[in-house]
């Protein structure tokens, strides 16, 4: 089956620093990747949608200058949390889909747990 | 926004009991997909099932079964003879086309030995 990886699986950083999270589709070309955020004991909330080679589309309330998304290749999307603060501590999950899949399936990565001190 | 509602925040059962997790969704689309995911403490989402809106057949997979009722916009999930390993948070989700999924708030299931 299709595999999506995320790196790192967890990260701890100091307030004010930037953190980059990678999302990779290992055995298929991901034309679209989605970034979700999940706060403790809450549901997954969509942050942004990124299509390869295009600018990401952000959901209302998500600061595009703070959460930089790059989808420069068909197998890699990155989310950079700039000037991270404790309130950005969360579980970040990506999912990927491909236009060649007739079933429109999305495949989720294992998530990245970010803790900002 | 078209919501997905999981009214049960937390359910606690004793091992071997049957348990049903409810899911009600809103949609204005003719074609859509419904999903159930399991999220154990590790956090990784485990895919359980995907249902096309055109297919209302109920499905059974081992101890798991799903009841899809378009008339009531529900997609309920039943675990038969629950086990401790079933303890997790379960999410119902809805998707359309190539857009992101909309998740319910999740139901935390605790199965006591």
> Which residue, among B90, B89, B88, B92, has the nearest Cα to B104 in the 3D structure?
B92
Q: In 10 A of CB A87, how many CB atoms?
A: 9
Rounded percentage of chain A residues whose pLDDT exceeds 70: 96
Is the model's pLDDT at B106 over the cut of 90?
yes
Note whether B113 contacts A: Cβ–Cβ < 8 A. Answer: no
| More reliable by pLDDT, A5 or B99 | A5
Q: What pLDDT is recorded for position A102?
A: 64
Is the model's pLDDT at B2 over the cut of 90?
no
Residues from chain B that touch A97, judged by Cβ atoms under 8 A, are 98
Q: What pLDDT is recorded for position A100?
A: 72
In terms of C-beta distances under 8 Å and separation of at least 24 residues, what long-range contacts does B85-88 make, across chains too? B85/B111, B86/B111, B87/B40, B87/B111, B88/B38, B88/B39, B88/B40, B88/B41
Q: Are A77 and A50 in contact (CB under 8 A)?
A: yes
Q: What pLDDT is recorded for position A98?
A: 82
Residues from chain A that touch B46, judged by Cβ atoms under 8 A, are none
Instruction: Test B98 with A42 for CB contact under 8 angstroms.
Output: no
Tokens of A61: 């309330």
List beta partners, residue B2. none
Tokens of B69: 């009722």
A90 — pLDDT class (breaks 50, 70, 90):
very high
Rounded to an integer, what is the distance from CA B30 to the centroid of its chain? 20
Q: What pLDDT is recorded for position B69?
A: 94
Q: What pLDDT is recorded for position A103?
A: 67
Tens of pLDDT, residue by residue over B16-72, are 999 999 999 999 988 999 999 999 999 999 999 999 999 888 889 999 999 999 999
Instruction: Test A43 with B47 for CB contact under 8 angstroms.
Output: no
Distance from CA of B53 to the nearest CA of A (A): 12
Give burial (CB, 10 Å; 0-12/13-18/19+) of A106.
buried
> Which residue, among B23, B83, B87, B89, has the nearest Cα to B51 in the 3D structure?
B23
Note whether B41 contacts A: Cβ–Cβ < 8 A. Answer: no
Question: Quick check: helix, strand or coil at residue A96?
Answer: strand
């Amino acid at each position: 089956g299709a595999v999506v990886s995320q790196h790192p699986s967890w990260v701890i950083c100091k307030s004010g620093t930037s953190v980059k999270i990678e999302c990779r589709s290992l055995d298929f070309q991901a034309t679209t990747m989605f970034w979700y955020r999940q706060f403790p004991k809450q549901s997954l909330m969509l942050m942004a949608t990124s299509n390869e080679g295009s600018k990401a589309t952000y959901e209302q309330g998500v600061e595009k200058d703070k959460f930089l998304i790059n989808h420069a290749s068909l197998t890699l999307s990155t989310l950079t949390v700039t000037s991270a603060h404790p309130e950005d501590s969360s579980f970040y999950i990506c999912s990927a889909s491909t236009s060649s899949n007739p079933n429109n399936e999305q495949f989720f990565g294992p998530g990245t747990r970010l803790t900002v001190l | 926004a078209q919501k997905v509602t999981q009214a049960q925040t937390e359910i606690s059962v004793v091992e071997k009991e049957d348990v049903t997790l409810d899911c009600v969704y809103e949609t204005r689309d003719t074609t859509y997909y419904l999903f159930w995911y399991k999220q154990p403490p590790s956090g990784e989402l485990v895919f359980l099932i995907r249902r096309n809106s055109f297919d209302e057949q109920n499905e059974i997979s081992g101890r798991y079964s799903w009841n899809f009722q378009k008339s009531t916009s529900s997609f309920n999930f039943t675990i038969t003879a629950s086990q401790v390993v079933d303890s997790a948070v379960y999410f119902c989700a809805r998707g359309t086309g190539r857009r992101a999924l909309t998740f319910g708030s999740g139901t935390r299931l605790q199965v006591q030995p």
